[in-house]
Amino acid sequence: MFDVKKIRKDFPILNRKIHGKKLVYLDNAATSQKPKQVIQTLKDFYEKHNANIHRGVYVLSEESSQMYEDAYEKVAKFINADGMEEIVLVRNTNEAMNIVLYSWAWDNLKKGDEIITTMMEHHANIVPWQLLEKRGVKLKYVDINDNGTLRMEDYNKLITRKTRLIAVVHVSNVLGTINPIKKIGKMAHDHDAKLLVDAAQSVPHMPVDVKEINCDFLAFSGHKMLAPTGTGALFVKKEILENMQPFMRGSAMIKEVYLHEAKWNDLPWRFEAGTPNIADNIAFATAIDYLQKIGMRNVRDHEKQLTKYALKRMSEIKQLKIYGPLDTDKRGGVIAFTLGDIHPHDLSTVLDDFGIATRSGHHCAMPLHNRLKLAASTRASFYIYNTKEEIDYFIDALNKAAKVFRL
Ligand code: C6P
């Protein structure tokens, strides 16, 4: 049974007052709040187990090494990967993309090759590929329809025998659109191209299975799914990861070092130079335990209900424009909107006076905002601890803001 009241008790920060009002946290797409279980894991680690990993034969080092390896296995299992040899733990989705850029694309793409991405991408899935343009790789964009879905017919027009990579966001952090990544992956593979999925806004919010999607690369951030900041993961199919060269070189990622050459460590350690983010990644595993206990299907259902309710109530507000599909089967729990001609930063500031945390700006999706002819938007994004009552309060605040700005 999904019990939001019980869940809320696990999040100490939800007791905070902001400007004398109860905090209503609606910026979950940026980063989620952390339950006490995750905070406790960090405390326990530093109070009872702290030592560097894979370096000592003493008890603390063996304990921390085991806990770190267990965290890898937990992340792998969560997305149904074949164990930690298909995972690299990273600080965030951006870092994951940069590993694909420097350790795969750099060696496998040459002048004339093509990458297809989309107009609804986060900068993390655009800017890395721009570096390859300097080497003569062509970067192509699939456009969007007026309702914020991908213009699927563009793929047929853009794919050629030179397409090497199709990079696509699973759930847009602005439009909320859930993209048909399985279908896109099939098109990629039919053309001998690889599929890279930016799952930063899907893995925290719904069941995601890398085998079912049949993706080659999949990136996500732990800090958006209850884990500490500085956590995230890159999934790469084993046969691809085995042949990728580590681009960060130094200690821990090697097996043997000679004066003029070195032999790489086993997977996944060859992609981790130096002391990794040990405690935070162990707490990442606690976050996964927490989500699995609730069940990812229940997480999705709860957010779907909240989103449906919020979309209905928001559409009743005059001059409020919502971006992205309105059908909750086709969208996740992020809602970007504008209210009349109120500048999104001004609106977010007024909402903050009510204790409501929203994000305003281009949400690191500037090409999308340009495509929508928008300088910025305000965005509310939901997670497991948000309630219908919070949405009512948010709607009230929006109505009051409209009055303040004389809409
Ligand atoms: N979007 C948002 O407020 P990092 O920052 O590397 O953990 O995640 C990057 C990223 C990549 N792809 C998508 C779809 C994302 O939404 C994000 C993060 C946050 O929308 C911060 S910009």
Q: Is 252 left (phi over 0), alpha (psi -120 to 50) or beta?
A: left
pLDDT at 38: 99
pLDDT at 160: 98
pLDDT digits 0-9 by tens, 165-206: 999 999 999 999 999 999 999 999 999 999 999 999 999 999
pLDDT at 364: 98
- β-sheet bridge partners, residue 220: 233
Instruction: Residue 92: name the closest of 22, 168, 31, 17 by CA.
Output: 31
Q: What residue segments make up the domains of the chain, in order of their start? A: 4-28+296-404, 39-292
Sign of torsion over alpha carbons 37, 40, 46, 47? negative
Exposure string for 267-297, b = 16+ CB within 10 A, e = fewer: bbbbbbbeebbbbbbbbbbbbbebbeebebe
pLDDT at 407: 81
pLDDT at 400: 97
Q: What is the average per-residue pLDDT within 388-405?
A: 97
Look-up of token digits 């390859």? 132
Q: What is the average per-residue pLDDT within 332-357?
A: 98
Distance 398 CA to ligand 1 centre (A): 25
Q: Which of the four pLDDT bands, split at 50, 70 and 90, describes residue 1?
A: confident
- β-sheet bridge partners, residue 377: 361
pLDDT at 406: 84
221 lines ligand 1 (CB under 6 A): yes
Residue 103: pLDDT above 90?
A: yes
pLDDT digits 0-9 by tens, 281-339: 999 999 999 999 999 999 999 999 999 999 999 999 999 999 999 999 999 999 999 99
127 lines ligand 1 (CB under 6 A): no
Q: Within 13 A of 40's CA, how many CA atoms are on the CB side?
A: 9
Residue 162: pLDDT above 90?
A: yes
The matching CATH number, chosen from 3.30.1300.10, 3.90.1150.10, 3.30.70.260, 3.40.50.20, for 4-28+296-404 is 3.90.1150.10
Report the CATH architecture of 39-292: 3-Layer(aba) Sandwich (3.40)
pLDDT at 241: 98
Pocket test for ligand 1, best of 88, 94, 99, 122 (most atoms within 8 A of CB): 122
Q: Which of the four pLDDT bands, split at 50, 70 and 90, describes residue 405?
A: very high
Supply the residue whose CA is at minimum distance from atom 22 of ligand 1: 364
122 lines ligand 1 (CB under 6 A): yes
Q: What is the average per-residue pLDDT within 228-234?
A: 98
Q: Within 13 A of 139's CA, how many CA atoms are on the CB side?
A: 18
Mean pLDDT for the chain?
98
Residue count (the chain)? 407
pLDDT digits 0-9 by tens, 49-75: 999 999 999 999 999 999 999 999 999
Distance 250 CA to ligand 1 centre (A): 28
Task: Please give the share of the chain, as a percent, with pLDDT higher than 70.
Answer: 100
348 lines ligand 1 (CB under 6 A): no
